Amino acid sequence: MGKAILVVSFGTSYEDTLKKTIAAIEDDIRAAYPDYEVRRAFTSGKIIKKIRERDGVEIDTVQSALEKLVRDGFKEVICAVTHIINGFEYDKITAAASEFSDKLNIKITRPLISITEDYEDIIEAVSENFKPDKLYVLMGHGTEHFANAAYPALDYHFKSRGFDNVFVATVEGFPSMQNVMDEIKADSRKRLVLMPLMLVAGDHANNDMADDWRRAFSEVGFEVECVMRGFGEYEKVRGLYIKRIEEKIQ
């Protein structure tokens, strides 16, 4: 049996954004590596359970996907991680993979934001979407994990590149929405765009960003637009995931 690429995502139960992001990344990987078997796994047990109960579709965890790869005779596997940071979900992937070290030669790609050059790559991938007469707030998930430091670091990198109108905030970490609001509410530019700093435009984008955050920024005087476009919809961002795989193949 040949080699496999296991595309590991947090997951989403929103079918439309799944097709535009996770499935699009998987399709790009199949096109780039036609000699590899490409399979899917999610790290969110909650989402796996919801899809099973709603649609009758069973999506593998990392462990069950690796078990099937062993059963099917694969020996070499690249776990292509689509997560944004090296947080708790990434820790789950490495822990699950370690249990198969005696059965599979597993290489795990790094998340989107991991090393210094990643910040510059991300800015290059999305900066064409920013106009100087508007303010932009990118909504990340945030976490209690020390990897949360990637979010303020990305904000700093945007500023160092001259994007004084781009801000990074998180739902569950630092900087918070309030931190960013305090920073920008005196800005003369009152047209504000909210964008997900997440692979998919799922629950947080639809509920937190398009509802709570939109209302909060509107109440302090901003004209708010929500861009319901996950990071996985940007072709150049998807290219960064291909780059991660290429680094493991070379």
Q: Is the peptide bond before 175 cis (omega within 30 degrees of 0)?
A: yes
Measured CA distances, 20 to 212, 228, 234, 246 (Å): 24, 11, 9, 22
Residue 2 has what pLDDT?
85
Tens digits of residue pLDDT in 108-144: 999 999 999 999 999 999 999 999 999 999 999 999 9
Section 197-202 average pLDDT: 95
pLDDT of residue 223: 97
**Residue 245 CA neighbour count, 13 Å, CB half:** 27
Question: Is the pLDDT reported for residue 250 higher than 70?
Answer: no
Q: Is 0.75 topped by the overall pTM?
A: yes
Identity at 157, one-letter amino acid code: H
pLDDT at 66 over 90: yes
Confidence of residue 214 (pLDDT cuts 50, 70, 90): very high
Confidence of residue 8 (pLDDT cuts 50, 70, 90): very high
Q: What is the mean pLDDT of the segment spanning 194-199?
A: 97
- Please give the average per-residue pLDDT across 166-187, as a whole number: 96
Tell me if residue 204 is catalytic.
Answer: no
Q: Which of 141, 145, 157, 204 is catalytic?
A: 141
Q: Is the pLDDT of residue 1 over 70?
A: no
Whether the predicted pLDDT of 175 surpasses 70: yes
Give me the mean pLDDT over the 150-170 stretch.
97
Q: Report pLDDT digits (tens) over 13-50.
A: 999 999 999 999 999 999 999 999 999 999 999 999 99
